[in-house]
Amino acid sequence: MGSATMWSVFLKASSSRTAVTRALGRYSQRAYYGSAAPLRMQRIPVPALPGTQWVRVRNRVAGISRRDLATIELATDPRVSPAAAHQPRRVFLGREVVGEVVEVGPVAQLLRPGDRVVWQNGPCCPTRGIEPPCHACAGGNYALCVYRYTPAQPAPTGGGWSEEMVLHERQLFLVPDAIPDEQAALLEAAADAVHTALRRQPQPGEQALVIGTDVAGLLLIQALRAFVPNANIAALLDAPYHAEMAARMGASQTLRADEATEGIARVTGSQRLSNWQGAELYAGGFDVVYDTIGTSASLQSALRWTRPEGAVVLSGHQPTPLNLDLTPIWHAEVTLYGAFAPGMEFWQTETGRGNGRISAFALAASLLRERRLTPERLVTHRFPLREFRQAIVALQHANEHQMLQALLDIVPAATHQAVPAPSSQPYAVKARASMK
Ligand SMILES: [Zn+2]
């Protein structure tokens, strides 16, 4: 049996708190973690395993991502599609997490106590016992399950920012032994980069642009470099301090936002036409542009900077309505792909012999083992779980703290496996960000 209660960080559903926090948040970002906010850290009961294939996981290390921050900052505009979905009573935070299985149901087939696992997907047809599975689950794309909007009964308890998680074994991915905890905690982020890269894999010799060089953009650059070693990958920086890391992760060239206009024309060798009302047209452009930001401005640029018949992959998730000129989609027949979450990917190898479908998590895990994906290099900050608010503040002011990836230690770090020292650690890992 599990310990009776555990510490957990979650958002408590309350329309009045949400409205008040949104209003206060316009004046101060502190509102999102203040006492009036839906966000809380609380001791909650750990349920007994509610199903025969359910497991209990004791978490070790979790990541904190921009998507967690968007959840905390109540960023979902009530007018966008996801806002129509049923809101659970508690939204547990933390998708990037590694833990150890400490209890399994009597007919669990995939996991045993002692296994190290990472969170992989939410409830889906296999965890709900739905036969035959929906189209998405049949293809291994559990994150897109058509039943994901139906409240799960029983529902998982806990997330990455909780001491424990109780969930179905099919929501987890078994971590190979060779991957230490600090890498495994970021396996989900690495799998996400793999998924985004493979939504529209560049062909050898093609020119790609990655817009945004936060953790998601940097890992995407590395994934693209791993898949297409001779692709030309440009990166549009969202902070000057990202330039060195973007180059280390495999960017062929980096462009600052203030030099983007001439930079795009120069890098792609295309002529730029514009008018005084802000319209912009390139006679040419990148073969594929990955927008890891997803605002009106970034997606607008992505569409305009893509060559005729090229592709844009939108992996930045801004849950707000956008206002932009979509004419490149018909005027230049640019294809727009969305990227939501890792699933079963179509992977083309250079020789063409390895073509086929593969799980993004499995592919990311093998790239981690081969050191071709190194998310742990991006870790600049670590906090114990109880200081998660400081982690949020640091991420809100990432530029000031020169922050990339932060980790939360759920159990004291001394009990983790040792991490092999990377050959070059570009940033010193700060014990914690200085708080004002
Ligand atoms: Zn399904």
Q: Where would I find the beta strands (DSSP E) of 180-231?
A: 207-211
List, for residues 135-174, the tens digit of each pLDDT value: 999 999 999 999 999 998 899 999 999 999 999 999 999 9
pLDDT over threshold 90, residue 86: no
Q: Which of the two residues, 23 and 167, has the higher pLDDT score?
A: 167
Q: How much distance in Å is there from the Cα of 240 to the middle of ligand 1?
A: 42
| pLDDT higher than 60, residue 429 | no
Residue 195 has pLDDT above 60, yes or no: yes
Query: What is d(CA 41, CA 378) in angstroms, rounded to the nearest whole number?
Result: 26
- Is the pLDDT at 419 greater than 70? The verdict is no
Domain ranges of the chain: 5-185, 198-346
Please say if the pLDDT value at position 75 is more than 70: yes
Which pLDDT band, with edges at 50, 70 and 90, does 423 fall under? very low
Report, as an integer, the average pLDDT of 390-405. 94
- In this structure, the number of other CB atoms found within 10 A of the CB of residue 86 comes to 7
Quote the ligand 1 centre to 358 CA distance (angstroms). 18
Comparing 137-151, 186-200, 413-427, the range with the smallest average pLDDT is: 413-427
What confidence category does residue 428 fall into, taking pLDDT thresholds of 50, 70 and 90? Answer: very low
How high is the pLDDT of residue 353? 57
Rounded distance from Cα 218 to ligand 1 centre (Å): 31
Which H or E run includes 265?
helix 260-268
Q: Has residue 34 got a pLDDT over 90?
A: no
Q: 234 in helix, strand or coil?
A: strand
Please, which pLDDT band fits residue 2 given cuts at 50, 70 and 90? very low
Compute the distance from residue 398 Cα to the ligand 1 centre, in Å. Answer: 37
Mean pLDDT of 332-351: 91
pLDDT at position 36 is: 86
pLDDT exceeds cutoff 80 at 432: no
CA 120 – ligand 1 centroid, Å: 14
| Distance between Cα 176 and ligand 1 center (Å) | 26
**pLDDT value, residue 79:** 95
- Binned at pLDDT 50, 70 and 90, residue 436 comes out as very low
Averaged pLDDT for residues 50-63: 98
Residue 430 clears pLDDT 50, i.e. is over it: no
Percent of the chain at pLDDT exceeding 90: 83
What's the confidence (pLDDT) of residue 350? 67
Q: Would you say domain 198-346 falls under CATH 3.40.50.720?
A: yes
Residue 411 in this model has a pLDDT that exceeds 90: no
Distance 123 CA to ligand 1 centre (A): 9
Is pLDDT at 3 greater than 90 in this prediction?
A: no
Band of residue 19 on the pLDDT scale cut at 50, 70, 90 = confident
Eight-class DSSP state of 39: E
CA dihedral for 250, 63, 67, 31, sign (positive or negative):
negative
Distance, CA 136 to ligand 1 centroid (Å)? 6
If you measure from the C-alpha of residue 396 to the centroid of ligand 1, how many angstroms do you get, rounded to a whole number?
Answer: 35
pLDDT above 90: residue 126: yes
CA of 145 to the centre of ligand 1 (A): 4
CA 138–ligand 1 middle distance (angstroms) = 7
Q: Which residues surround ligand 1, an ion (CB under 5 A)?
A: 124-125, 134, 137, 145
d(CA 106, CA 339): 36
CA 124 to ligand 1 center in whole angstroms? 5
Mean pLDDT of 262-268: 92
CA 153 to ligand 1 center in whole angstroms: 15
Two structure tokens written together for 206: 């093609």
User: Which DSSP helix (H) or strand (E) runs through 415?
Assistant: none
Distances (CA, A) of 199 to 1, 222, 264, 303, 352: 42, 15, 23, 16, 17
The verdict on pTM exceeding 0.85 is yes
Local confidence band at 14 (pLDDT 50, 70, 90 cut-offs):
confident
Ligand 1 centroid, distance to 163 Cα (angstroms): 28
> Residue 134 Cα, ligand 1 centroid: separation in angstroms?
4
Question: Whole-number mean pLDDT of the chain?
Answer: 91
Structure tokens given for 46: 């750990």
User: Distance, CA 386 to ligand 1 centroid (Å)?
Assistant: 35
How far, in Å, from the CA of 371 to the mean position of ligand 1?
Answer: 33
State in Å: Cα 150 to ligand 1 middle.
11
In whole angstroms, give the CA distance from residue 116 to residue 97.
10
Pick the most confident of 10-24, 38-52, 345-359.
38-52
Ligand 1 centroid, distance to 183 Cα (angstroms): 29
Residue 152 Cα to ligand 1 middle (Å): 12
* pLDDT score at 52: 97
139 CA distance to ligand 1 middle (Å): 9
pLDDT for the residue 189: 98
Query: Residue 418: which pLDDT band, with cuts at 50, 70 and 90?
Result: very low
More confident residue, 183 or 33: 183
Fold observed for domain 5-185: Quinone Oxidoreductase; Chain A, domain 1 (3.90.180)
Residue labelled with tokens 């206060």: 24
**Cα–ligand 1 centroid distance for 137 (angstroms):** 4
261 pLDDT more than 90 = no
- Please give the distance, rounded to the nearest whole angstrom, from the Cα atom of residue 261 to the centre of ligand 1: 44
Higher pLDDT, 352 or 370: 370
